[in-house]
A and B are shown apart, each in its own frame.
Chain A
Amino acid sequence: MEVIVALAIGVLAGSGVWLVLRPRTFQVVLGLALLSYAVNLFIFATGRLTVDRAPIIREGVPVDPSLYADPVPQALVLTAIVISFATTALFLVLLLVARGLTGTDHVDGREPEDR
């Protein structure tokens, strides 16, 4: 499972970086979204990959950390998802405003001259 998750994170991050480096604003938005997926998965994976483990320690049961999931990365990833969601929405508005004001969807606000 670790290999699959690691590959997934790698592919997401790689495609994200490639898209962010593209010249069109929409590609940049998609790239940022993919990167944020990669980062969120990465945070999630730092809490160990476990299935069917409760995050809350029950009273009276002896505490063995290997029997529990770590709740902190789950809380972190939730916060990170909300924040990246909000900033992506803001970026979309910015993209539309830039398109309206400059008449192009190039990230520099003008088409490169050598075309």
Chain B
Amino acid sequence: MTALLHHLLIVPVLVPLVAGASLLFLAEQRRARIALAVGSVLVQAVAAGTLLYLTTDAMPHMWTEGVGVYALGAWPAPFGIVFVVDRLAALMLVLTALIGLAALVYSLAYWDRVAPAFHSMLQFLLMGLNGAFLTGDLFNLFVFFEVLLAASYGLLLHGAGSVRVKASLHYVTVNLLASFLFLVGIAMVYGITGTLNMADLPARISQLDPGDRALFGSGAAILGGAFLVKAGVWPLNFWLPAAYTAASSPVGALFALMTKVGVYAALRIGTLLSSADVETSFIDVGLFYGGAATVAYGTIGTLSAHQLGRVVSFSVVTSTGLMFMALGLRLQSLTAPVLLYLASSALATSAFFMLNGLAQRTRNVPMREAADVAPMPDVIYHGFGVGPPDPLSPTDEVGVAIPAAMAFLGMAFVCCVLLIVGLPPLSGFLAKFALLRATAGPNLLAAGAPYGAAFCAAVVVSGMAALVAFTRSGLRLFWTVSAQRTPRLRMIEVAPTSLLILACLVLTVAAAPVMTYLDSAARSLHAPEVYVRVVAETTGVLP
């Protein structure tokens, strides 16, 4: 049993890989395709849940201190690639599985039939996300980033239309450039330290000459630049609102999670390096100011945007900015609240992107406008050996239409707004309250008073601005009676949206155990010796 459980670490990468590849051969059998896709995500969810359970030290004879290591091909650590799961990685895996499941089920109502290979790309995106969270090797991290980006290029284009193509053009260019930065950073780190293994890095850095140390610092900074592009920190984020708004709603939900990958990578590498007494104070100040500028950009954006989708996209920017501001403060007590905020805002924005797709149907304009879905060039369908999808009318769908559609939309909208703005009683409020509490009070001086105060102000003001913007969108959506009709909502669209909001409710109700878990996650992040030691012990060769 334990031997089998040991292989659980590879499941979140292997299952979507196999499923995604097999799905390419099931272009004609819709039922089999759905079964395989949903089955794969369910397996990932179970695996992620089990990993989360194991990292709570529930089985101490198996993993010590919440860190599990899996050496691929049983190659010892600095030479082979290792997968490492700790509490932060397990948390991210669970978030990925939840949002992936919701987006997949939501897409079954309509979006998966718009173009071939949607299911495969979704699986590959999940594989990239899971792999990026699990890997303990820098170059492998790059590979998984590329996997998830390549899938996201396809998914962003999903549904075609000139708006999506224009947004993709910018999105792809910027992300390719960021990948080059990533590669240069990795090459410099490898060239100086001679290792790509994250657990091996701190020890190697402490052996460096002072001259090499500066070079290493610039390599790490270039690497960090790549993460900041992925996370969407100002001024590297002008592609983000357009791309996220243009994406179809299930894809938007997944994209809301993708910016969090940048935050995760920055957090992971940042805490590992801070243990090796690399001079990071200028990076922290940079992160703080970058985060502040991002919050300002996001806030102004939410206020100036008209479409609901754009407001939500800008709120993604704001939440990234707040997280980086918090990381820049360098308060260890802030890490757990940041993680809670990350989980809560990822779930809420994903739900909001799905809700946005549903809410657009209350307009009198038909759902499929030219910009929304245009057929792909025929050559693409021939390439996959399938015909263009039948023109769909929203009425002939399989599935149950739910009663009281407007009531559901209204309730879901209110919940999402409360979550993102950070008003009581939902988890958004708890997260922002925890952020404020960790910064204000006696900690204010430790953070450097002006910085701490600026952060508190940013949390409050950005929430306020988001409230104004969302209220305006809500008025336009729900209270302008003349331009409105009651939409048909199907169960398979409503259920996943509700699932994500319910997950936030769980975060609220079970706040105490969640915070205990996140506290221990934050503690192990700030004590990377444990991470390093466990990787060394499990695989043997590290110094």
A residues with CB within 8 A of B: 20, 25, 28, 32, 35-36, 39, 42-43, 46-47, 72-73, 76, 79-80, 83-84, 86-87, 90-91, 94-95, 97-98, 100-102, 107-109
Contact = CB atoms under 8 A, between A and B. Distances in A.
B274 to A, nearest CB: 25
B173 A32 contact: yes
B377 A43 contact: no
Nearest to A91: B172
Interface string B158-190: 001110011011101100110110011011101
Contacts of A97: 157, 160, 165, 377
Nearest to A16: B180
Interface residues of B, number: 30
Nearest to B154: A90
Given A94-B153, A100-B377, 16 more contacts: A20-B173, A28-B173, A35-B180, A46-B190, A72-B190, A76-B139, A76-B186, A76-B190, A94-B157, A94-B172, A98-B162, A101-B165, A102-B162, A102-B165, A109-B165, A109-B169
Nearest to A28: B173
Contacts of A35: 177, 180
Contacts, number: 88
Interface of B: 139, 143, 146, 150, 153, 157, 160-162, 165-166, 168-170, 172-173, 176-177, 179-180, 183-184, 186-188, 190-191, 196, 374, 377
Given A79-B139, A100-B377, A90 B150 contact: yes
A94 B169 contact: yes
A101 B169 contact: no
B478 to A, nearest CB: 33
B150 A87 contact: yes
Contacts of B176: 32, 84, 87, 91
B191 to A, nearest CB: 3
Contact of A46 (B157, B179, B191): B191
B187 A42 contact: yes
Contact of B187 (A32, A43, A98): A43
7 contacts: A43-B184, A80-B183, A87-B179, A94-B157, A97-B377, A98-B169, A109-B162
A108 B166 contact: yes
A71 to B, nearest CB: 11
Q: Which 10 A-B pairs have the closest CB atoms?
A: A46-B191, A109-B166, A101-B162, A43-B187, A46-B187, A39-B180, A98-B165, A39-B183, A83-B146, A101-B165
Nearest to A44: B187
A72 B143 CA distance: 15
B165 A73 contact: no
Contact of B166 (A20, A42, A76, A102): A102
Contact of A25 (B153, B169, B184): B169
B115 to A, nearest CB: 12
B216 to A, nearest CB: 13
A72 B79 CA distance: 10
A94 B168 CA distance: 8
Contact of B184 (A39, A73, A83, A86): A39
Contacts of B166: 98, 102, 108-109
A72 B196 contact: yes
B121 to A, nearest CB: 12
B403 to A, nearest CB: 40
B172 A90 contact: yes
Most B Cβ at <10 Å: residue of A25, A47, A101, A108? A101
A46 to B, nearest CB: 3
A97 B166 CA distance: 10
B169 A73 contact: no
A43 B150 CA distance: 22
Contacts of A87: 146, 150, 153, 172, 176, 179
A18 B62 CA distance: 54
